[in-house]
């Protein structure tokens, strides 16, 4: 199977996905071009983007979609990550801008957990997003 250049540059392909999604349902959604297939890659306006600012407002890093959010979250310092986590900013963004209440609830649990260090909480939120919005690269046609 030959892949396009775009497919090779992306580590994964995004689609709306619930924990019970099957390959057949993903294929069916692709065939109908469901609007949610691009939700994690689409650009949100500045009013719906997530801004990593940090505790001192020293940063202004804009994540205009879930893909950018995951990439930026992996690269920011722990102090900035924890500032937003303790403020409940991640779950608020998922609820208000992304409009995904299920993801917001899971993120809120992660935000409130005192047993997770910054890396573990970052990984947990990235996994929560990935379970709902990604298809592994080996399933990309």
What is the model's pLDDT at position 94? 97
**Annotated domain spans of the chain:** 14-141
Higher pLDDT, 33 or 39: 39
And the tokens for 68? 């950018």
Residue 24's pLDDT is 46
**Which H or E element spans position 126?**
helix 118-133
**Looking at the predicted structure, is the pLDDT value of residue 32 above 50?**
no
pLDDT tens profile 86-134: 999 999 999 999 999 999 999 999 999 999 999 999 999 999 999 998 7
- CA atoms of 14 and 113, how far apart (whole Å): 28
**Residue 71 neighbours by CB distance under 10 Å:** 13
**Nearest to residue 133, comparing CAs of 40, 44, 35, 41?**
40
3-state SS assignment for residue 21: coil
Q: What is the pLDDT of residue 5?
A: 40
């Amino acid at each position: 199977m030959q892949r396009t250049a775009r497919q090779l540059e992306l580590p994964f392909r995004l689609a709306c996905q619930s924990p019970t999604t099957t390959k057949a349902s993903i294929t069916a959604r692709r065939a109908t071009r469901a609007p949610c297939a691009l939700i994690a890659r689409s650009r949100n306006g500045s009013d719906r983007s997530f801004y990593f600012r940090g505790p001192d407002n020293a940063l202004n890093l804009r994540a205009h979609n879930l893909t950018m959010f995951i990439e930026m979250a992996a690269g920011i310092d722990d102090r900035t990550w924890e500032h937003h986590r303790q403020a409940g900013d991640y779950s608020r963004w998922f609820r208000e801008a992304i409009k995904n209440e299920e993801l917001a609830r899971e993120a809120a649990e992660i935000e409130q957990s005192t047993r997770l260090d910054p890396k573990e909480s970052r990984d947990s939120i990235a996994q929560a997003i990935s379970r709902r919005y990604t298809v592994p690269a080996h399933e990309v046609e």
